Structure 1
Amino acid sequence: MKTPFILINIFTVTPDNQQRLVDLLTKATKETVKSMDGFITSTLHRSIDGTKVTMYAQWESREKYEDMRRNATASPYLEEALSFAKFEIGAYEIVEIFKKA
């Protein structure tokens, strides 16, 4: 298997909108994203102070991820999130995986 395309997306929100964003991203992932071609896995995180929501995701390739972003069923979720949260996308490649011996 080739190295997956990694995304670490950081959303900044007001504490009163953190759960709203968590719910929206959960719904988007369960209802559309996870069934898209090329999706491998994602993990949703929320900060203790209530101001950040971060999603770590793995895709088979950048092209598969971009296909998802262009998909009409997935885009409304991001548009809604951007109405109350600031979004910073980060694309990464895996350098090393460390595991407990």
Structure 2
Amino acid sequence: MSAVTTTIAADAPVATLINVFTVQEDRQRQLVDVLVRATDEVMRNVPGFVAANIHAGTDGTRVVNYAQWRSADAIHAMLDDPAAQEHMREAAAIADHFEPHLYTVESVHHR
């Protein structure tokens, strides 16, 4: 089986979940580590998972999880998964605030 990578395209057959976390600077690394561990241990094994990308804001106060799933239904099933919920609770306890939303890719531009 070939590796699947994150591809951002307006016609990609994926659902995109972007979760923006606000965090205290001294807890940013802890949150990144929790999200990386959750992805490695749980999320990547949930049916419908395609890819996840964890971004740390250079100001130290934001962490963004850009995740792709096969469908919105797969995302909702993941949200109901007890193992995923455990990691989501752990991340929520570290963050001051978080906003997960589903998105569609409307336009992609390259040079």
- Is the structural similarity TM-score above 0.5? yes
Look up the SS of the partner of 1:8 in the other structure: strand
> Percent identity, aligned pairs only?
35
Q: Name the amino acid aligned to 1:91.
A: L
Deviation at 1:81, TM superposition (A): 1.3
Query: Contact 1:39–1:59 at 8 Å: present in 2 too?
Result: yes
- Aligned counterpart for 1:45 among listed residues 35, 39, 55: 55
2:16 alignment counterpart: 6
Separation in structure 1 between the aligned mates of residue 83 and residue 93 of structure 2, nearest angstrom: 17
Aligned residues: 100
1:82 Cα offset (Å): 1.2
Letter in 2 for 1:92: Y
TM-score by length of 2: 0.84
Gaps of 5+ in 1: none
Q: Which residue of 2 aligns with 1:75?
A: 85
Structure 1 residue runs of 4 or more that deviate by more than 3 Å after TM superposition = none
Indicate if the aligned counterparts of 1:3 and 1:94 stay in contact, CA closer than 8 A: no
Match of 1:32 among 36, 42, 59: 42
When normalised by structure 1's length, the TM-score is: 0.91
Task: Show CA shifts across 1:19-69 (max 9, x none).
Answer: 000000000000010111101111110011110000111111010011111
C-alpha separation between the residues in 2 aligned to 1:41 and 1:29? 9
C-alpha contact (below 8 Å) 1:7/1:90 kept by paired residues: yes
